[in-house]
Amino acid sequence: MSNEHKEYLKKIKRKNIIIKSFQILIIIFIITIWQLAANKGLINTFISSSPKNIINTILKLYKDKLLFHHIGITFYEVLISFSLGTIFGITIASILWRYQLLYKIIDPYLTILNSMPKVSLGPIIIIIAGAGIKSIIIMALLISFIITIIDVHHYFKETEKNKIKLMKSFKATKRQIFIKLILPSNIKNLINVCKVNIGLTFIGVIMGEFLVSKSGIGYLIMYGSQIFNLNLVMTGIIILCIMASLMYYIIVILEKRINH
């Protein structure tokens, strides 16, 4: 390796260190200022809580054996609705790719369903599925499902025309074109759909928990706001942030695996 190249690698490394340290510094800075402001009475901790209060709340939840109970429930709901939404969405998009006429027929309905705020269906869902986990999962499912169909179908249709032509010149069947070309060429896009869906599913699940649940992080936030315990609300939000980013990173790791 030439010295020049070593120098270049060092430069990149240095840059990365700077970026990472600033990222960590920012969060430390925010937490410190928040806590200091709370200590000095500059902010009303009843409304804005404080890092110390949040940690205490987490510890209390943990001691009461409620922390992982709530996290577990929410995680379970997210996992089920994410899996179902993604799998069904991709399957239906594949069917619509296969049968273009069917797609053209239902296209306007998909658009309407997509632009409609799904929460408005909440009351109907609760009446049909009952005030429980089932309703929450259906709600979250609805939110990610329609957009998955639309996005995945779009990606499938955008597959390079000349590659399709090439497959056709080999007399490939539609099925062969799908398995050998459409699906593998869209792996990256499908992973992106998963990334978006994780976020959407969280929205759906929390909304569902706001409406009906007796446990879960969404319930914790709702309950906290009803008894004016803003510490609980803030704690719920922080836990959600951590959960969502963890699930996102699981997909990123999966993505790296596939790319290698």
Pick from 13, 168, 174, 214: which binds another protein (CB under 8 A)?
A: 168
104 binds another protein (CB under 8 A): no
Supply the minimum distance, in Å, between the C-beta of residue 189 and another protein: 13
> Which of 33, 36, 42, 187 touches another protein (CB under 8 A)?
187
Work out whether 162 is an interface residue with another protein (CB under 8 A). Answer: yes
Distances (CA, A) of 143 to 10, 25, 163, 178: 46, 36, 33, 27
Q: How far is the CB of 54 from another protein (least distance, A)?
A: 46
Number of neighbouring beta carbons within 10 Å of residue 208: 31
How many residues belong to the site for another protein (CB under 8 A)?
17
| 170 is an interface residue for another protein by CB under 8 A | yes
> Which residue in the set 140, 167, 198, 232 belongs to the binding site for another protein (CB under 8 A)?
167
Token pair 């009906």 is at which residue?
212
Stretch that binds another protein, among 62-70, 145-153, 179-187, 241-249 (CB under 8 A): 179-187
Q: For residues 185 and 225, which CB has a smaller minimum distance to another protein in the complex? A: 185
Tell whether residue 100 is a contact of another protein (CB under 8 A): no
**On the CB side of 75, how many CA atoms lie within 13 Å of its CA?**
14
Nearest to 160 by CA among 142, 181, 176: 181
Question: Which residues touch 200 (CB under 8 Å, ≥6 apart)?
Answer: 85, 140, 143, 144, 147
Pick from 212, 210, 207, 199: nearest CA to 248: 199
Which residues, other chains included, contact 78 with Cβ-Cβ below 8 Å and sequence gap of 6+?
140, 198, 201, 202, 205, 243, 247
Residue 136 lies near another protein (rule: CB under 8 A): no
Q: Which is nearer to another protein, 63 or 170 (CB)?
A: 170
Q: State how far the Cα of 131 lies from the Cα of 208, in Å rounded to an integer.
A: 10
Nearer Cβ to another protein, position 13 or 168?
168
Q: Could you tell me the smallest distance in angstroms from the CB atom of residue 100 to another protein?
A: 17
**Where does this chain bind another protein (CB under 8 A)?**
160, 162-163, 165-172, 176, 180-181, 184-185, 187
